[in-house]
Chains A and B, each alone.
Chain A
């Protein structure tokens, strides 16, 4: 059967789609996790904590599905990437899972008993469930930019040469901190929009200002590191964009310091992404300082979109380069599913993604309005 979209185009479309799903995850579950990480610092008593938790209480569950769909989407579109990244970063991924197991139960179980020790315990669960994944995702992104230490044998089985501790290189830690400040900013901005105005939003704005500044500084530092720190890979010769998904065939990748900036020279429009990363954070800072809640939230959202897109655009067509054996590197051209699977999944996604956006918007509309401490006494359903 002749498919109406050619293989190379589908491969690029899926690169964009996975990017969109990961950005949607960052934007939605990002503020849930940011709020979790902020919980001990913005809310000082049980009523404030409950009010903060209820800013995300009814919607975090749907937001988290972007994470699940991100994982499953990578499985379906890039089986190699799913297979190699999650097993290669085994313990890091395990830490994320353990933290994310704590999160649903912390939301649900905290309010079931009035005992302060019980509640304090689940508050820690919410903090860990927010802070730890955000940190590890950033560290993982740093490792992806540096290349992961794996190689493929002729059966295309992956072997790893790195240790868990090796994941925490200075550059990866910098990326981890950037991720934390980006989503703490986003969480703080969400609170300025959704929490009852008062001491909690005051504290959120103060922390938000620090996080916004840190985002700008760390993003700039990351940029310099990428430019001058010896990072980067390049494909030697011409990649076969419609060839079989086999990294050991076709054009080989090599280390090329500075190559992560190549794309900006070739396609000037891509500069929009880093600019958005800085400008969004600046707008958010302005919103925090002058108490413009929607500027703060719009800015933090734009900044997150910009920063995540910068990573993707800088690396294109690479998805997961190998630092140990660059020939084994995974790219958009050699790590995807078949033409048929990509096509069928594109159809499925183009049907369901708009539906998801429609009913999610409806749910947010029904739940519109600020979370208040007053509502806690009148509405027994609240967490």
Chain B
């Protein structure tokens, strides 16, 4: 297959997924913050809380529209651009996506209209229930998407069937309770809650700095400080690493993001800084924090953490074994009743994917020389410097967020909502969690390379048989459309912030100001 087709397919998927992921975490987190604010309104019956809820609801809506619009692309792109992937793992991967639609997205999308239009049609408690359904739907949606993604990272509960030339489900329980998927879910929704808290905190801080809408801003800041502290702690403590000791590929990911070439004796130290060198296959100027990595990765003091060299050697063995499995599958294609071939296949089935790595260089893996196998084993290593740096920036921002929310929490508890220096920090911190979540996605997906499904199907085999002009057309128009919509969305959000909470729906109380709407803008 034309390598340009694969690169362009990856580029398009990365663009559309990263773009989608700009809006989704905010939706995930803000929906629950709306529930919190509206609950306070229902309990206290104070109209200011209703105004607060509706104001953040307006911003939620502007963001939600783009999340939905870009989600449509995601749902169909597997089939459009990753046709062989869709066939190869559809028996497993399609199910969580369909369940997401039935259980989660329907709930969210059906109630979201009522959430916006039903304020005067429903009793306050019923409306709160509607808002809760939207939040529940949004978060369940994340669960099923991450079950699907978690399976790509750690494909449990499935096996290759030579009769249908694809992976098939053996145990749905394993797919659902995949520890990688569970860890990812907690990590990702916590990141969403943190983004929403930073969003609410930053905009409230801006109002307080301008001396506007302080009633709404102080209340919002209090909610954001508490919710943000809990979420930022959970995002770091319940990080993604818990699954990293599970399989060869997860170990490889850990070794790559640590730029750890040699196996580290127990208890392994965490590299705080270093300069990974791909040519020499070593890391210069390392600064290590003792014990920490061993604790995070193995949850123990006595297990070593494997390095890249040792994992590459393992990959080499698995490629050799995979070639045997590949030969057996070819024999079964010709004669499905070949008992000997089936027995051979059963013995080597778990390494079949490794033989497919050779297809980048030779059409038939059985013809690969030992040298080629040695060289191909190094393909199993993801891009070390990218992994190393994205992890450090992502985690660094995570730690900063904890510090910021801890400060915010102390300040709001002491009723010092108008601490100027902190308000500026809160405004300036606005872009940080987005950078962090996007890098988190890069880390997860680049870390999975060269695989589309870890150890099962290489990315370069997964693409559809499309042409370069087809892909250029779609990438160009998606980029233009998405770019234009991003500008419009940010413009509308800024406009809504400028108009403030009282211009949206409610009469302006004494002592508050609202910008009047110009007749024609």
Q: Judge whether B287 is part of the interface by a CB distance below 8 angstroms.
A: no
Q: Judge whether B106 is part of the interface by a CB distance below 8 angstroms.
A: yes
Q: Which residues of A contact B163 (CB under 8 A)?
A: 244, 246, 249
Q: Which residues of A contact B473 (CB under 8 A)?
A: 91, 94
Distance between A331 CB and nearest chain B CB, rounded to angstroms: 14
Q: How far apart are the CA atoms of A367 and B120 in the complex, in Å?
A: 11
Q: Judge whether B100 is part of the interface by a CB distance below 8 angstroms.
A: yes
Binary contact track A93-136/B, C-beta < 8 Å → 1, others 0:
11001101111110111001111101000000000000000000
Q: Judge whether A79 is part of the interface by a CB distance below 8 angstroms.
A: yes
Q: Which residues of B contact A363 (CB under 8 A)?
A: 110-111, 113-114
Q: Which residues of A contact B464 (CB under 8 A)?
A: 83, 87, 90, 158
Q: Which residues of B contact A245 (CB under 8 A)?
A: 164
Contact of A91 among B71, B172, B470 (CB under 8 A): B470
In the complex, which residue of chain B has the Cβ closest to the Cβ of A368? B121
Distance between B363 CB and nearest chain A CB, rounded to angstroms: 11
Q: Judge whether B361 is part of the interface by a CB distance below 8 angstroms.
A: no
Contact yes or no, A62 B110, CB < 8 A: yes
Contact yes or no, A340 B169, CB < 8 A: yes
Q: Which residues of A contact B485 (CB under 8 A)?
A: 101, 105
Q: Within residues 145 to 188 of chain A, which ones have a CB less than 8 A from any CB in chain B? A: 154-160
Contact yes or no, B505 A381, CB < 8 A: yes
Binary contact track B440-454/A, C-beta < 8 Å → 1, others 0:
000000000000000
Q: How many A-B residue pairs have CB under 8 A?
A: 257
Contact yes or no, B65 A104, CB < 8 A: yes
Question: Known interface pairs A58-B113, A101-B70, A157-B465. Does A73 touch B101 (Cβ–Cβ under 8 Å)?
Answer: yes
Contact yes or no, B164 A101, CB < 8 A: no
Q: Which residues of B contact A108 (CB under 8 A)?
A: 61-62, 64-65
Q: Which residues of A contact B269 (CB under 8 A)?
A: none
Contact yes or no, B521 A115, CB < 8 A: yes
Q: Which residues of B contact A344 (CB under 8 A)?
A: 95, 169, 172
Q: How far apart are the CA atoms of A223 and B112 in the complex, in Å?
A: 41
Q: Which residues of A contact B425 (CB under 8 A)?
A: none
User: Which secondary structure dominates where chain A touches chain B?
Assistant: helix
Contact yes or no, B65 A158, CB < 8 A: no
Q: Which residues of A contact B488 (CB under 8 A)?
A: 105, 109
Q: Judge whether A372 is part of the interface by a CB distance below 8 angstroms.
A: no
Contact yes or no, A381 B117, CB < 8 A: yes
Q: How far apart are the CA atoms of A104 and B100 in the complex, in Å?
A: 20
Sort chain B's interface into a size bin: 35 or more
Distance between A324 CB and nearest chain B CB, rounded to angstroms: 13
Distance between B60 CB and nearest chain A CB, rounded to angstroms: 11
Distance between A371 CB and nearest chain B CB, rounded to angstroms: 11
Contact of B505 among A113, A337, A380 (CB under 8 A): A380
Q: Which residues of A contact B336 (CB under 8 A)?
A: 249
Distance between B132 CB and nearest chain A CB, rounded to angstroms: 13
Contact of A83 among B84, B100, B112, B164 (CB under 8 A): B84
Q: Judge whether A238 is part of the interface by a CB distance below 8 angstroms.
A: no
Contact yes or no, B169 A158, CB < 8 A: no
Contact yes or no, B117 A57, CB < 8 A: yes
Contact yes or no, B110 A356, CB < 8 A: yes
Q: Within residues 224 to 259 of chain A, which ones have a CB less than 8 A from any CB in chain B? A: 244-246, 249
Q: Judge whether B504 is part of the interface by a CB distance below 8 angstroms.
A: yes
Q: Within residues 56 to 77 of chain A, which ones have a CB less than 8 A from any CB in chain B? A: 57-62, 64-65, 67-69, 71-77
Q: Which residues of A contact B166 (CB under 8 A)?
A: 79, 156
Contact yes or no, B95 A246, CB < 8 A: no
Q: How far apart are the CA atoms of A141 and B107 in the complex, in Å?
A: 29
Question: Known interface pairs A72-B75, A341-B91, A341-B169. Does A87 touch B68 (Cβ–Cβ under 8 Å)?
Answer: no
In order of increasing CB-CB distance, the 5 nearest A-B pairs are A79-B90, A86-B79, A58-B113, A76-B94, A62-B110
What is B's interface to A at a CB cutoff of 8 Å?
Answer: 61-62, 64-66, 68-73, 75-76, 78-81, 83-87, 90-95, 97-103, 105-107, 109-114, 116-122, 133, 161, 163-166, 168-170, 172, 333, 336, 464-466, 470, 473-474, 477-478, 481, 485, 488-489, 492, 495-496, 504-505, 517-521
A72-B94, A73-B98, A82-B94 provided; 16 other pairs, C-beta below 8 A? A61-B113, A67-B72, A68-B72, A68-B101, A83-B85, A90-B474, A94-B477, A97-B72, A102-B481, A105-B488, A105-B489, A108-B64, A108-B65, A157-B465, A337-B95, A381-B120
Query: Can you spell out 30 A-B residue pairs with CB atoms less than 8 angstroms apart?
Result: A58-B114, A62-B110, A62-B112, A64-B68, A65-B106, A67-B72, A69-B101, A72-B100, A76-B90, A76-B97, A76-B98, A80-B87, A86-B83, A97-B76, A100-B72, A104-B69, A105-B488, A112-B62, A112-B492, A115-B520, A157-B465, A158-B464, A244-B164, A246-B163, A249-B163, A338-B169, A341-B92, A348-B95, A359-B110, A366-B114
